[in-house]
Amino acid sequence: MNKAVFLDRDGVINFDPGDYTFRLEEFKINEGVIRNLKRLHENGFLLILITNQGGISKQIYSSDHVEVIHIYLADELEKENVQLTEIYYCPHHSVNENCICRKPNSLLIEKAIARFDIDPEKSYMIGDKMRDVEAAEKAGVKGIKVGLNENIEKYVDQIINK
């Protein structure tokens, strides 16, 4: 079985200014992210992005905006020989519909666990909100809550050194 680190996007991977990040020119990768994802990758962890993108449901932006950002992120990581195993996003928002994929629900994590033969007990979720931790725990994964836009290095150290 594989081990994985699931990652929230806005506020963990990229700078979250407090509202929706959907324009490529606003998407700034947080300090230390690429280096630390590389460390995780080199230590045998699959890297899987799990992100709520409720602005799609609210018609603030489209799935095309999300895809452009995700392609850019993947390209930037590949320049450093880091590969995301998969990117899952929920386009729904609770103000418009109920769904089972929006965090704090765990469907997207569970989908990745099944698809990539992941051992939840050897896996982690890094997020900046309690809903990230809740989703992780529902799927049997250890949740790690970080501060908004915080450098994730010390958490990666903890994961690698366990």
Cβ proximity of 102 and 54 under 8 Å = yes
Active-site option among 8, 16, 128, 132: 8
Both tokens assigned to 39: 């460390």
Please give the full DSSP string across 121-157, using - where no structure is assigned. Answer: GG-EEEESSHHHHHHHHHTTPEEEE--TT---HHHHH
Determine the Cα–Cα distance for residues 134 and 140; give it in Å rounded to an integer.
10
Q: How far apart are CA 72 and CA 111, in angstroms?
A: 24
DSSP string over 47-113: EEEEEE-TTTTTTSS-HHHHHHHHHHHHHHHHTTT---SEEEEE---TTT---SSSTTS-HHHHHHH
157 is catalytic: no
Marked catalytic residue, from 10, 16, 128, 132: 10
132 is catalytic: no
**Residues designated catalytic:** 8, 10
